[in-house]
A and B are shown apart, each in its own frame.
Chain A
């Protein structure tokens, strides 16, 4: 027994390879993620709080930040509701075309956001879009307006909630739901009292990833927004604009704010998330 247990442990636990592996991974993450992010922070605070204060007192930037938050939150709400719905459909029901739907749901992750933007213009464009003129006649402008930007953001972050929730639902099985039904609960009561509490952490994690992704969306939004200063310019577009206009301090400060929110989201969740899960 003693021989076997040391044998079992050595390959992973005791060899020097373990330390080499640790070093490689740490270095890789450091140069790829930590160091660049740190530099953004250092550049932001190069002259103390001056550039951050400049950015936060610029009404155009403040408008852009606010717009980003509105669009991101709207997109996350939409993606959460539909994401949970689609996950239930995928896991709990059998229907023809299920595999096709599954592939379609991964499209947003594989297609470049700029393609998404162009595709939306083709459909919803106010002048020669497939569907746009009709909507525009009804007084609803999609492209070069907030609805189009929300649409683009929803599209890009679509799979994130689903890919978090589907495995949790599969793992959960449907016995608890059947038990609830047999005890007198209707579909809504079963969902609210049994399913939702059980998939809670999957949903929260999906929401946080979607939020982070939505705050940072650039390509698709750039195409559909029209990038009008003080109207449809989001924070990511501000960063680009400032960078291209040699306002590096402003660009870094805005970028720092964006990164800060995203990092905060992920930290909050990993602190909240119960230790025994994952």
Chain B
């Protein structure tokens, strides 16, 4: 049930969506394809499903060469961002669709649909039309529909992207629990690093049509392969030529070995954490985040003299381009 992707390339006109991508997706795990919009991750997922054809390379699903197989022969379940509910069919008929196509006996279909509706908590909605469901319910229906055919792999394309924050959080937890029950090899596409870190066993970071890094959430967070992965997975700030997480910086009121001197130029409280902007003697603006207790213990004020250093054993990356004046990445805002 593993998926082997080797040397896959795809162009849309002049645009290179995927550039010689090779990934191996392990069997029975929940894998996230993570990356910015337009990076090629959805294209890769659609190529796995057969909804798009690779220009070059090879796709193997469960040991079978699927490169030239049409989607209906691949036995994959696909869940779309905008649900793709069959609007003219009831919830039951939606879920039963794949089984009806496979001409299974009526009582078997009924039994299986009942099971699946129970699994996605939609038992009492079977006779409704998709238009009468909420977004979260529609996506659960779509998931049940994809699972009905007992796919070898389940593919989800930004499955929670169209839902509001609260429902997204609920469905994310629910998907994790569902996967623990069902164990089908699952690949989902997301641009939300928190979603990937929270739900996935394995993360494949894709950017500009290339794989940046593959590994477990811990691997990626603690040992980012490059600047891009470091920046994409969470807030970063820059001290000298090192990229570091703002919470991995220590602030001291006195000089210590290997500290950099500076002044606290701005102090902002964001919920449970305090964000301190420090301008170093070289004029670099560095963001440090502290907990409330750490902050109170230090007794910092605006314009106080401070000394910074990176906490030992923290993940850091050297910056390739040093001309960047601002130290915070755009993902800082998104992740808080």
Contact = CB atoms under 8 A, between A and B. Distances in A.
Interface of A: 175-176, 178-186, 189, 193-194, 197-198
Contacts of B142: 179
Given A175-B80, A175-B82, A182 B87 contact: no
Given A178-B51, A185-B72, 9 more contacts: A175-B82, A178-B71, A179-B78, A182-B77, A183-B101, A183-B146, A184-B75, A184-B149, A198-B88
Nearest to A181: B71
A14 to B, nearest CB: 34
A186 B103 CA distance: 13
Contact of A183 (B50, B88, B97): B97
Contact of B101 (A175, A178, A189): A189
Interface in B49-92: 49-51, 70-72, 74-78, 80, 82, 84-88
Nearest to B52: A178
Kindly name the residue among A175, A181, A184 whose own CB sees the greatest number of chain B CB atoms within 10 A.
Answer: A184
28 contacts: A175-B82, A175-B84, A176-B84, A176-B85, A178-B84, A179-B78, A179-B86, A179-B142, A179-B145, A180-B97, A181-B51, A181-B71, A182-B49, A182-B71, A182-B76, A182-B77, A182-B78, A183-B72, A183-B98, A183-B149, A184-B75, A184-B98, A184-B102, A185-B97, A185-B101, A189-B101, A193-B97, A194-B86
A179 B50 CA distance: 11
Contact of B72 (A175, A182, A198): A182
Contacts of B70: 181
Contacts of B149: 183-184
Interface residues of B, number: 27
A181 B98 CA distance: 9
A75 to B, nearest CB: 29
- The binding surface of chain A is classed by DSSP as helix
A181 to B, nearest CB: 4
A197 B101 CA distance: 16
A267 B252 CA distance: 84
Contact of A184 (B82, B85, B101): B101
A144 to B, nearest CB: 46
Interface in B97-111: 97-98, 101-102
Contacts of A186: 72
A197 B90 CA distance: 13
Contacts of A179: 78, 80, 84, 86, 142, 145
B271 to A, nearest CB: 33
A221 B198 CA distance: 71
Nearest to A179: B84
B307 to A, nearest CB: 55
B80 A197 contact: no
A197 B97 contact: no
A198 B142 CA distance: 18
A185 B94 CA distance: 13
List the 6 closest pairs (A to B, CB-CB), nearest first: A183-B98, A175-B84, A179-B84, A182-B78, A181-B71, A184-B101
A67 B182 CA distance: 64
B86 A181 contact: no
Interface in B268-311: none
Contacts of B80: 175, 178-179
Contacts of B50: 181-182
A186 B73 CA distance: 9
Contacts of A182: 49-51, 71-72, 74, 76-78, 146
Nearest to A175: B84
Contact of A178 (B78, B88, B98): B78
A176 B71 contact: no
A183 B94 CA distance: 11
A189 to B, nearest CB: 6
Contacts of A175: 80, 82, 84
A68 B305 CA distance: 97
Nearest to B98: A183
Interface in B140-155: 142, 145-146, 148-149
A176 B75 CA distance: 17
